């Protein structure tokens, strides 16, 4: 059983076995992931032992991990990039046209910074249109793998306007705070 939000959920040996099978795991693999013996998993599934609550919670955590939403599930694909020598006028036109508030700055194949609405507004002046991205850009956005659970990026989005999502070495998407808000409900 697991206590969640004041409710006790009844977890039976049969339901644990079904979850394991649905997850495509053998008893041996589940045992390795949980840190117990395969024989212990077998006894739990047969109802021969009454496992500790911490063991049940670990089993449930392992069995439901694959069901958690990943970055690839909510990212926006087709990231638009700025170049360090682009004018702020050009970049701001792209940002307005595509309704985006930041763009990673790409030099060659390397992300070297981020240009944001905030950095543009901070530098407003009569010459802002002619300034170059490299003159006012901020640090680069954090980079996460597409398989990263969404729960793991919440702390990053508290400090940054977005995170870049990679597959291998290629940037395949971006997640902003508004993308995260879309997951509510």
Q: How confident is the model at residue 12 (pLDDT cuts 50, 70, 90)?
A: confident
Question: Can you tell me the mean pLDDT for 145-174?
Answer: 89
CATH of domain 71-181: 3.10.580.10
Pairing mode, if any, of strands 170-176 and 162-167? antiparallel
Q: Where are the domains of the chain?
A: 2-65, 71-181
Full-prediction pTM beyond 0.85? no
Give the CA dihedral 91, 84, 74, 177, nearest 10 degrees.
Answer: -70
The second-level CATH assignment, the architecture, of 2-65 is Orthogonal Bundle (1.10)
pLDDT tens-digit readout, 80-124: 999 999 999 999 999 999 999 999 999 998 999 999 999 999 999
Give the model's pLDDT for residue 10: 58
**Using the 8-state DSSP alphabet, how is residue 125 labeled?**
S
pLDDT tens-digit readout, 36-81: 999 999 998 898 988 888 888 888 887 776 566 789 988 999 999 9
The enclosing H or E element of 47 equals none
The set of residues, in sequence order, having a beta carbon less than 8 Å from that of 169 and lying 6+ positions away, is none
């Amino acid at each position: 059983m697991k206590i969640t939000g004041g409710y006790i959920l009844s977890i039976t040996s049969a339901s644990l076995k079904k979850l394991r099978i649905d997850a495509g795991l053998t008893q041996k693999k589940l045992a390795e992931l949980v840190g117990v013996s395969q024989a212990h998993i077998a006894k739990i599934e047969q109802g021969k032992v009454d496992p500790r609550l911490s063991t049940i919670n670990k089993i449930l955590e392992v069995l439901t991990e694959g069901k958690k939403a990943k970055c690839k599930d909510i990212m926006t694909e087709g990231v638009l990039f700025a170049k360090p020598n682009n004018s702020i006028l050009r970049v701001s036109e792209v940002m307005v046209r595509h309704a985006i508030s930041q763009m990673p700055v790409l030099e060659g194949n390397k992300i070297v910074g981020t240009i944001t609405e905030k950095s543009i507004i901070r530098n407003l002046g009569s010459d802002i249109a002619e300034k170059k991205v490299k003159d006012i850009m901020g640090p680069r956005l954090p980079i996460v793998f597409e398989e990263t659970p969404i729960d793991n990026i919440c702390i990053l989005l508290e400090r940054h306007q977005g995170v870049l999502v990679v597959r291998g070495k290629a940037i395949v998407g971006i997640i902003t705070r508004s993308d995260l808000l879309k997951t509510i409900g």
